[in-house]
Structure 1
């Protein structure tokens, strides 16, 4: 089971900051300003900032459940977790930097929680369908999916600098 913790910690690290088979979140957001982060090409799709908010919502929600903290029982739709700002002109650099810092904080809290948890916790189901290790791994895959979307958006807006592999 120690191997299970190592796998989950590696997934979290790759999603946050490593460049292995894909670019981690930190590299995917590197150099973005608030205007670029809130950019949409008019098709009604999510901005990078919307995606960051969505990841904060879900990753933090699962973290709170994992840690036994209260989680809102209020009904919501998945679309509402993107927290789309109707007027992107109201967004500023300080808010963007705070969102990126919060996402990094959630990654770091997850890594600490996995590192510190009793290995049996990872085998305990948060729901009847699957144990925690599957939930965390699925969350990491979800994050990787959205990293791909962020890079795609950056390529469309011309702000992506290709990863330099070692």
Structure 2
């Protein structure tokens, strides 16, 4: 298995359940209200976590594709920067993750070598936050263990 195969497998695991729950499966079926819910004032909502994932995944995808990123004037990466509603966020993160997978599949190995660590860390970062999303859904009592995680 080469670097490209590993990165594609990691990116695919964020799109579809493998031996853990994919990001897209963790947010499927949520309402705007469920996505905005927080267990307390110190926690982030699922919607805020998705904002954060959109922010970083898009920035790194732009960097990989040599597209300039807008200047980051606000350090709060959990903020809804584009004023999107929940359904728009779900579509946006899906599109970004699918574009990542396609970009890596089509990339020349020399280009992957330059950012292999960043891409690997990005997929781990996404998986970490997917676990948070599932935990929040369990706190809301709206996660069905048949969707991938029991207990």
TM (norm. structure 1) is: 0.82
Residues 71 and 32 (structure 1 numbering): CA distance in 2 closer, same or farther, change over 3 Å? same
**1:36-56 superposed Cα distances (whole Å, 9 cap, x missing partner):** 000012232100000001000
**1:139-160 superposed Cα distances (whole Å, 9 cap, x missing partner):** 0000000000000000001111
Return structure 1 stretches of 4+ with deviation > 4 angstroms. none
Q: Which runs of 5+ in 2 are unaligned?
A: none
Q: Which runs of 5+ in 1 are unaligned?
A: 86-90, 125-131
Whether 1:119 and 2:115 are equivalent positions in the alignment is no
Correspondence for 1:104:
94
**1:113-147 superposed Cα distances (whole Å, 9 cap, x missing partner):** 111111101112xxxxxxx0110000000000000
Structure with greater contact order relative to length (CA < 8 Å, sep ≥ 6): 2
Residues 97 and 118 (structure 1 numbering): CA distance in 2 closer, same or farther, change over 3 Å? same
Give, in whole Å, the separation in 2 of the partners of 1:155 and 1:46. 15
Instruction: Answer with 1 or 2: which has the greater Rg.
Output: 1
Task: Give how far 1:108 is off.
Answer: 1.0
Correspondence for 1:22:
20
Whether 1:3 and 2:28 are equivalent positions in the alignment is no
TM (norm. structure 2) is: 0.90
Task: Give how far 1:75 is off.
Answer: 4.5
1:118-137 equivalent positions in 2, closer than 5 A: 118-124=108-114, 132-137=115-120
